[in-house]
Amino acid sequence: MLLRAVNVAGRPLKMERLREVLQRAGATDILTIGASGNAVLRPPAESDPKGTERTIEQALASGAGLRTEVFVRTASEWKEVVRRNPYPDAARTDPAHLVVTFLRATPPASGWASLRESIVGREMVAPGSRHAYIVYPDGIGRSRLTAVAIERQLGCSGTSRNWNTVLRIGAELGPAESPRA
C-alpha cells in the first residue's frame, strides 16, 4: 500500500500514526517502510483492493486529518511489476533514477502516446497495466517529466517510488500468492 504525497509539502504523517490508523481500519500484520507512506499489510477481511483503498482513505481522513490517495497492489501484482521491468540495465546500474509510477486507473493507449510525445529530455517511459516505468538518466529533479505532466497526459493520478523502494517493498511481501498488500 502506498500513500500519495505524505511527508512532503507540509503533509506530515508519522509512520507510528499510520500504523495506528491502518490497524483501526481493520488491517493486520502492518509493516511501514521508510517515511513516505509505504506499508505492507494484510487488508481488512473481505476487502478487494479498491475497497481497501477507500477504507484506508476514509480512515486517514477521520483518524489522522489527512486527505490523500491510497494505492493498493496485491503481492502478486507487486511481484509482476518487478518481474516485468523493461529496464533491467537501469535497475542494475542506476536504480535511484528508475521509478515506477503507480496509477489509479489503466490509461488508454492514447494517453501513453501523449506521454511519450511530451518528453523533451532523455527520459524513457514504458507502460504497465496500472503503472509506468520511467527512467530519468539525467536526474528526476531537473526533468520536465514531472508528476503533474505524467498525470495530465495519462488522465489519472499516481504516486512514484524509485526502484530501490520497489524492491524493498517486494522483499517484505513474501510469496506472490500471499494475501498481503
CA distances 74 to 49, 78, 92, 129, Å, are 7, 6, 25, 14
H-assigned helices in 25-162? 49-64, 75-83, 88-93, 109-118, 147-154
Q: Does residue 118 share a domain with residue 154?
A: yes
Question: 100: which strand partners?
Answer: 133, 161
> Of the ranges 11-20, 61-70, 79-88, 110-119, which one carries the lowest mean pLDDT score?
11-20
The domain containing residue 123 runs over which residues?
84-163
Confidence of residue 178 (pLDDT cuts 50, 70, 90): low
Q: What pLDDT score was predicted for residue 179?
A: 61
* Across 29-51, average pLDDT: 88
pLDDT tens-digit map of 43-88: 887 778 899 999 999 999 999 999 999 999 999 999 999 999 999 9
Q: Which residues contact 148 (CB under 8 A, 6 or more apart)?
A: none
Grid coordinates representing 38?
509505504
Kindly state whether residues 115 and 51 are assigned to the same domain. Answer: no
Amino acid of residue 5? A
What is the structure's pLDDT at 56? 94
In-domain check, residue 169: no
Count of domains in the chain?
A: 2
C-alpha cell at 130: 496500472
DSSP state of 43: P
- Give the model confidence (pLDDT) of 136-162 as tens digits: 999 999 999 999 999 999 999 999 999
